[in-house]
Amino acid sequence: MTNGKRFSFVKTLLPLPCPFCGSSDVVAAFGIVSCYLCNAEVSLQNTNTYYAIQVWNCRNNIESDKAYKAKNNAILQAKIWAQEARTQKAVVKEIGKLVGCKNDWEVVEAVKKCIFGEIV
């Protein structure tokens, strides 16, 4: 209290990152909490933004869930393998162009011959 007057402090609460895409680009206003990246949204009628943020933040702690992390790691590894496969495919095609092969199998045979000392 100051000079007999009471001050009322408004509680502030920040929304957690998006539970779907993990983006921290989340905005809250007029009872709506929304993710800019994936458009996930909590929209509550006749309520305030503070309560909407509480609802947005109220979820299972998926960040500490081992199954969730394992799934994300498996997805990440699959993406890495897919990119490596695309890169290898591009390398095979480039070698095929250089050697004059018609298809990928001819490239494989040409590489095998080079490895084993039979020059093409």
**DSSP secondary structure string, the chain?**
-BTTB---PPP--PPPPPTTT----EEEETTEEEETTT--EEE-TT--HHHHHHHHH-S--GGG-HHHHHHHHHHHHHHHHHHHHHHHHHHHHHHHHHHT-SSHHHHHHHHHHHHTT---
How many distinct structural domains can be found in the chain? 2
Structural domain of 108 = 62-120
Is there a single domain that holds both residue 79 and residue 26?
Answer: no
Tell me, yes or no, whether 119 lies in a domain: yes
Tell me, yes or no, whether 6 lies in a domain: no
* Interior angle at CA 45, CA 44 and CA 47, nearest 5: 80
Per-chain mean pLDDT for the chain: 78
pLDDT of residue 34: 92
pLDDT of residue 1: 45
- pTM of the complete model: 0.42
pLDDT of residue 27: 92
Of the pLDDT bands very low, low, confident and very high (cuts 50, 70, 90), residue 118 is low
CATH number at residue 39: 2.20.25
